[in-house]
Amino acid sequence: TVYVSEKDGLTALVDKDGDEVTDEYRKIATWPFGGNYHEFAFGLLYEKGHFYVSTGIAMVPGGATQDPQNVPNRGSTLKINKKTGKVSYVAGGLRTPNGLGRGPDGSIFATDN
C-alpha cells in the first residue's frame, strides 16, 4: 500500500493482487479544502500509527494571501490517525509550509516560506 497526500486528504493506493497496479483508492482522511489552486498539501511523514502533513492557504494570482480564506484551518500541520482517519491540528498560522521533516532527535519540523 502506498499513501498519498492530496490537497483535500490522505489516500491509500492498494494493490490487492500483487501486480503492482492500484486496485483500490481508499480515502483515509479528509481536511478542509476550498478549491483554490494554491491550497497544496506538503510532506507526508509517518510515526507510530500517525501521518503528518502540512496544508497551504489560498492565494490570489500574483502571490498575495486571499482574504478571507475559503475554508478554516488551512495553513496548518495535521496529525492523522492511520486506523481511524481522525485529523488533529498540531500547528497553525502557516502560509505555505512546504517543508516537513525530522530533526536529529526525531522531532518533527514544519518550515514555511
Q: What is the pTM of this model?
A: 0.93
Give every CB contact of residue 105 below 8 A, 6+ residues apart in sequence. none
Domain positions in the chain are: 31-111
What would the grid cell of residue 48 be? 507510530
pLDDT tens track for 11-69: 999 999 999 999 999 999 999 999 999 999 999 999 999 999 999 999 999 999 999 99
